[in-house]
Structures are given as structure tokens and as C-alpha cells.
Amino acid sequence: MKNIPRINKSGPQPQKLAALRQAHREWSESPDVLTRLTRRLSTTLKLETQLAILAEELSSVVPFDCMNYRHQIAAREFVYATGMGGPHRCDYRLNLEGSFYGTLSLSRRQKFTEQELEGIELMLAAAICPVRNACQFIAIEQAALTDSLTGVPNKRAMDEVLARACSLGDRHGDNYSLILCDLDHFKDVNDQHGHVVGDHILKLAAAELEKAVRNSDSVYRFGGEEFAILLPHTDECHARAVADRILEYIRSISVNCGDVDVSVTTSCGVAQRLPDESADQWLARADEALYRAKDHGRNCTRVFAVIGN
């Protein structure tokens, strides 16, 4: 028989346990600014909260008037700013293990001394790992909310935004409208020309939708060939105008497939949210309007108009 090593179940020695408690007490209560900074940063993965902590701790060591941070995380431009700037500025590129995690700038009215710049660099060195983790967390969240083919937000992201729009609409009385778009006869495109062409058209359609709407509007891939557009501060009349513009942009798509150019059209259904209406009810009315557009020959817009509105 093989000798099986015994497992010591007595636990750590009392002296080691006491030393561990002491180390934890010193770490959690240390007045040292670097220890306090890393301890506070470790409590959150929200990048905005981390930057607010960093600004507070930095200002206790090196006074400044303004801190700016900017980073492109996946498709999102993340910007954080606090305070008002001055003529003297120091800029830092945050890098760790060959990866870039944004630029940070400090500015003020007086020139920074060499000792102050050294202090800033020590603080940033302590902060870079938590900042890296927060950036990666944002990227993971974005990936979960983004359609991998078209690059626009997916249905999960849309569900979250619709719920938030319902809440804000009830609280402030703002108008919100929803457009559902479905590419007409898209199954025929896939059947006749293949899914590679179909996927390419879906990408082009998403790009045309984003060009057709305002910066304040948001485009989502709702299903296979179905897209949704949320329009804040927009009534059904103006939403219809956007939907009609979408028809024109989608009609401009043309993909050369050798002997033939493949083009597509779309049908649009519009619904303005009603007071106290749930996201599901609102979505169902937009879907009903889309069905009417399909039933009336496609390549057109229909509005779910409510009598009395």
C-alpha cells in the first residue's frame, strides 16, 4: 500500500494567526496614502467610482485644479472629468503588461514640481491594476450587451434600456417612441445568395440605421433580421419621419454578387409609449404596427396610433 500523507487539521499556528490578524488590522487602518488608495480602489469595479477615489487621494498629495481621463473601451468612449483646468498640465498614458488603459491628465494654475510629478507617478502605479480590472469589466459587460455580427447593442441591452425609458417617462412625463424594422424577404436573400451575403447585408443595414437616426437615438438588433430604434423625447409624428428616412437608407444598400446586385427593403412599425405602459405592452404595439406594414405590402411605415392621442 502507498503511504498516504496525513493532513494537518490543527490549522495555522496561533502565532501565525495572530500575525495575520495584526497584518490585516494594519492594512485596514493604515494612514499610508498608497495603502489607503489601493484598499479603497479594491472595493469597486466601477471605473467612474475608482477615478473619483483616485482624484480624491491624489489631491491630498498633489493639489490640482482639474483631472481628465479618457479611454476607448470596445465601442464605448469613456470620459471622466472633474474641476476646471489651468495652463500647466501633466499627461500620462496608463499602460500595464503591454496593454493600454487610457490617458490621464492633471492641470492647475501653478507649474508641477519634479517631486510632485514623482508623487503622481507613484500614485498611478498603485492605481493601474484596479483601473485595468475596471476597464476589463466594462469590456466584458459591453460584450454581453453587443450583437457580435453587427456591433450594435443586442436584445438584452434593449430590454434594459426600454425598462429605464419607461421609468423615466413615468417620472418626468417625457415622450419616447419605438421603431421596429424588419428586412423584407430576407430569407430569400439567404436562400438564393448564401448566409455570407446575408450577414454582410445585416452589417450594412445596421450601419445605415445608425446613419439614419440622431445621436440621441439608439439602434438594437432585436432578432435575426429585425432591428429596434429607441427615440427619446420624440412623439409618434416625428418618429414616423425617422422611420420613413430609415426606409430610404435601407433601400440604398446594394451588394454585388457577380451576375446580380442584391438590394433589400425594410418595413417599419412605430409606437409612442403611453403613460404607465409597460415595456412589453409598448413593444407589442410596435410589433403590431410592424405586422400591419408587412401586411400592406412591405417597404412602408405603419404607426400604432392611439385614438385620443
- Residues annotated as catalytic are 225
Q: Which of 82, 27, 74, 73 is nearest to 51 (CA)?
A: 82
C-alpha cell at 168: 423615466
**Structural element, H or E, at residue 77:** strand 76-83
C-alpha cell at 107: 492641470
3-state secondary structure of 110: coil
Q: Which amino acid is at 288?
A: E
Q: Which of 104, 79, 91, 97 is nearest to 133 (CA)?
A: 97
Q: Which amino acid is at 43?
A: T
Backbone angles phi, psi at 73, to 5 degrees: -110, 105
In whole angstroms, give the CA distance from residue 15 to residue 7: 20
Compute CA 78 distance to the chain's CA centroid, rounded to the nearest angstrom: 9
Q: Which of 68, 46, 70 is nearest to 136 (CA)?
A: 46
User: Any idea which residue has 421603431 for its cell?
Assistant: 179
Q: Which residues fall within 8 angstroms of residue 157, CB to CB, at 6 or more apart? A: 145, 146, 220
In whole angstroms, give the CA distance from residue 142 to residue 157: 9
**Structural element, H or E, at residue 101:** strand 99-108
**Radius of gyration (Cα) for the chain, nearest Å?**
27
The CA-atom distances, in angstroms, between 67 and each of 50, 62, 70, 232 are: 13, 12, 10, 31
